[in-house]
Amino acid sequence: MGWRDRETLGERLVAQVHDILHIDDRYIVPDPLGFTYWAGESATRVETDQGLFRQGSVTYRVTARTEVIRTRGHLRDVAIALEHEMDECTFSAPDYDRAQDVISLGCGVYLGDENAEWLERLFTAAVALQVTEAFELANTLTFKTSVSKAISAHPQTGPRQQFDENLLHSRSMFLPVGDQPSAWRGVEEWKRTKWVLEREAFDWETDEQTFFNACFRWACGDEPMRLVMTTEEPHPKLGQGLHATLTVPMPLGVEAIAHLLLDLNHIERIEYKRCHSLGSWCEHDGRLAFRLFIPNALYDPRILEELCVTMSTRAIWVDEWFQAMKEAAQTQS
């Protein structure tokens, strides 16, 4: 029994990642819920949980985690470097494992019958990009800071000397259509996002063609949190697509944002927040923000509405989290 049998949606997605990325079984360590894989010097873990049954359906959380660097006592410098690097993120976020002293990139999705058809393709692409981005990020961070790469090896096959050719050029598959206008421009689903905004946001505007701006409750200040989803902000490396940015209106310095990006990304990884862990907390235009970019090559009209839901859910739990932190600080004082 296990993911190779593809008996559940979660197992099927783990198996699909394995098959579509042509992963070499000489460099994997499998177990019932997933596998650990070496595309190069560092390990990637892809796994599903056993599913959560609720309201007559089962939801599976499927995640991927790629080790990047060991901080060697330089976590502050790494966090500051990451807050700027993640402003240009796609699907993956940095997370710090204190016990292992390892920074990893991670992404995850909540998979159910209603979204499996298109989410499987999106997550598989996210894993491919994550492994490539982790390889590049390790080189960047070791150059900018006094850290070392998180190097490991397959227990039987040993270290992998060369990066997996199947993944080395994974970004290139997104580039041709990235030169074209955003595939989400003018689609009917812009109108369907209204029901989400009417229910969750207290103020919003949209042209029903290329963008919406939405305001969400922010209990720790006078300004609201703002969510912008747009087809008019291309990614610097992947070109056109769909960009989402949730901005938290807090007057924070560089170090405070760096600290929070690791904390918030870690919370999304370890707690059941019911919003896809795609994208990253970062510094954007001088403020704490969550950013996500979906390339043209992954176009599906259903993504727009689901992304609206998941970003709205994130705005709600973040407001609650900061409010709880504020109340705890007031109690202690």
Tell me which architecture the domain covering 178-332 has in CATH: 2-Layer Sandwich (3.30)
**31-82 pLDDT, tens per residue?**
999 999 999 999 999 999 999 988 788 999 999 999 999 999 999 999 999 9
pTM of the model: 0.95
Report whether pLDDT(172) > 90.
Answer: no
**85-122 pLDDT, tens per residue?**
999 999 999 999 999 999 999 999 999 999 999 999 99
Report whether pLDDT(195) > 90.
Answer: no
Report whether pLDDT(294) > 90.
Answer: yes
Do residues 150 and 138 make contact, with C-beta atoms less than 8 angstroms apart?
Answer: yes
Going along 179-320, which residue ranges are E strands?
203-206, 211-216, 225-230, 241-247, 280-284, 287-295
**Structure confidence at residue 1 as a pLDDT band (50, 70, 90):** low
Query: What is the structure's pLDDT at 262?
Result: 95
**Structure confidence at residue 170 as a pLDDT band (50, 70, 90):** confident
Extents of the domains making up the chain: 3-152+168-173, 178-332
**Structure confidence at residue 167 as a pLDDT band (50, 70, 90):** confident
Phi, psi values for residue 13, rounded to 5°:
-70, -40
Question: Is beta strand 34-38 parallel, antiparallel or unpaired with respect to 28-31?
Answer: antiparallel
DSSP letters spanning 233-274? --BTTTBSEEEEEEE------HHHHHHHHHHHHHHHHHS--S
Domain 3-152+168-173 in CATH 3.30.1460? The answer is yes
- Report d(CA 128, CA 130) in Å as an integer: 5
Residue range 150-164: mean pLDDT, rounded: 94
The reply to whether 3-152+168-173 and 178-332 are identical in fold is yes
